[in-house]
Amino acid sequence: MDTYKIIEIKESVFEDNNQRAELLRSELKKERTFLLNLMSSPGSGKTTTLVRTIYALKDEMAIGIMEADIDSDVDARTISKTGAKVIQLHTGGMCHLDAEMTRQGLEGLGTQGIDLAILENVGNLVCPAEFDTGASKNAMILSVPEGDDKPLKYPLMFSIVDVVLVNKIDAMEFFDFNLDVLKERVSKLNPGIKVIPISAKTGEGIDQWADWLRGEVKMWNNNSDCRSL
Amino acid sequence: MHEMGIVIKVVKTVEDFARNNGVTRIDTLVLQIGALSPVIPRYVESCYPMVVKNTRLEDTRLQIDVLPAMARCRACREVFDVLEHKSSCPVCHSGNPEMISGNEFMIKEIVAF
Ligand SMILES: Nc1nc2c(ncn2[C@@H]2O[C@H](COP(=O)(O)OP(=O)(O)OP(=O)(O)O)[C@@H](O)[C@H]2O)c(=O)[nH]1
Ligand SMILES: [Mg+2]
Ligand SMILES: [Zn+2]
């Protein structure tokens, strides 16, 4: 006769990723590499913003970019024109990157001597918010044509990021996008969050964004014992 | 849809567990999924048969227990189901409660021989 046994496993499936992410974060801290995880919907301007960011900061720090894409290398080619170190990660259908994939990407990129590594995550406002990549800080781009109601639809994403870039403000006049309403919605979900309006096309606001990033990179790479989480 | 990658991970974890604990046949795998979890039970069920092919879990049944999304009111400490009450406290009507559960995604247990 069969004897059944119930064996408790009680293992949280995401726990494992959280631990790997913590480990990666502490290793990056020791290596003095700041990792920014940049998320957004497809087409909101991640790559264009990255190009601007590289030009704004490349004289002060060594920058490496990881482009996550399902299958293409268009973005990596765009970035490589700036002269920054870049690697293309093919996610092969995965809709997000987890800490393990990020680690592999960083190994491929080579973090030695890199002060600022930026991960262009898969264009998606849902899944990337669920998985800690091990990044030092998380940023997202919301572009004006997407509308100011996105925080209501994707609250998790807005609550886990440290900064929201509102991109394509050069196109503000064509859309019903209310920046004050957006700020209010965002800070309800995430008090203390920074909102920076930019146009990756005209360059407006990029200075302020570069200032924020420069400050964070300095803090991360200087004091070796205190984590700026 | 990210369920596929997640289910692959779950199956690997359970296989490792079975190997390390001398379990040969697994009758049922029980997962717990919170009502607010990004993992959708229906999608997990639909990709499960494909994922377990040629693994130790090939003949293992899948059971999913959905856990309610509970929160505690910051004002009056009432504990309530947020999906039922749209995130506002049924007693004092304040919003922005403190989440207690609903986000989990756990491998709860296996029923084995
Ligand atoms: N008007 C305007 N267009 C912009 C701006 N930034 C980006 N774009 C345009 O928006 C489109 C998408 O920009 P990308 O930088 O490729 O966006 P992305 O988020 O990297 O896109 P994916 O990688 O495909 O998800 C391009 O046609 C850009 O030229 C902006 O500030 N203003
Ligand atoms: Mg891009
Ligand atoms: Zn209350």
Query: Do A181 and A218 meet the contact criterion of CB atoms below 8 Å apart?
Result: no
Closest CA to B102 of B81, B76, B87, B86: B81
User: Is B21 close to A7, i.e. CB distance below 8 A?
Assistant: yes
Contact B71, B80 (CB under 8 A): yes
- Tell me the C-alpha to C-alpha distance, in Å, between residue B96 and each of A148, A195, A196, B85, B99: 20, 21, 25, 12, 9
Q: Residue B26 sits in which domain range?
A: 3-112
pLDDT of A229 higher than 50: no
DSSP letter assigned to residue A170: G
Q: What whole-number distance in Å separates Cα of residue B67 and Cα of residue B37? A: 9
Rounded Cα distance, B13 and A19, in Å: 15
pLDDT in the model for residue B11: 93
Q: Which atom of ligand 1 is nearest to the CA of A48?
A: 15
Cα-to-chain-centroid distance, residue A200: 16
Mean of pLDDT over chain A: 91
Long-range contacts of B37-46 (CB under 8 A, 24+ apart): B37/B102, B37/B103, B37/B104, B37/B105, B38/A126, B38/A127, B38/A129, B38/A130, B38/A156, B38/B2, B39/B2, B39/B3, B39/B6, B39/B105, B40/B3, B41/B66, B43/B1, B43/B3, B44/B3, B44/B6, B44/B7, B46/B3
Residue A228 pLDDT exceeds 60 = no
* Domain total of chain B: 1
B12 touches chain A (CB under 8 A): no
CB A65 within 8 A of CB A33: no
Give, for all 113 residues of chain B, the pLDDT tens digit: 678 888 988 999 999 999 999 998 999 999 999 998 878 899 899 999 999 999 999 999 999 999 999 999 999 999 999 999 988 999 999 988 888 888 888 999 999 97
pTM of the predicted structure, to 2 decimals: 0.74
CATH number at residue B32: 3.30.2320.80
> Is residue A226 scored above 50 in pLDDT?
no
Q: Please name the amino acid found at residue A51.
A: V
Q: What is residue B58's DSSP assignment?
A: T
- Give, for A60, the enclosing helix (H) or strand (E): none
Q: What is the pLDDT of residue A227?
A: 44
Give residue A75's identity as a one-letter amino acid code.
Answer: D
Cα(B21)–Cα(A5) distance, integer angstroms? 13
Of ligand 1's atoms, which has the minimum distance to the CA of residue A51?
A: 15
A42 within ligand 1 shell (Cβ under 6 A): yes
Question: Could you give the CA distance from residue A184 to residue B86 in angstroms, rounded to a whole number?
Answer: 20
Which amino acid, residue A207?
D
Cβ of A203 closer than 6 Å to ligand 1, yes or no, is no
Give CA–CA dist B1/B22, Å, rounded: 34
Stretch among A12-16, A217-221, B99-103 having the lowest mean pLDDT:
A12-16
User: What pLDDT, in 10s, does the model give residues A137-187?
Assistant: 999 999 999 999 999 999 999 999 999 999 999 999 999 999 999 999 999
pLDDT recorded at residue B27:
95
Looking only at the bridges linking them, the beta strands covering B79-81 and B26-34 are: unpaired
**Of A19 and A199, the one with more pLDDT:** A199
Q: Is the pLDDT of residue A92 over 70?
A: no
Bridge partners (DSSP) of residue A85 are A64
Residues paired with residue A68 on neighbouring β-strands, in sequence order: A89
Mutate which of A46, A48, A50, A86 to test ligand 1's pocket (most atoms within 8 Å of Cβ)? A48
pLDDT at B68: 94
- Determine the pLDDT at residue A18: 85
State pLDDT tens for residues A58-90: 999 999 999 998 777 889 999 999 999 999 988
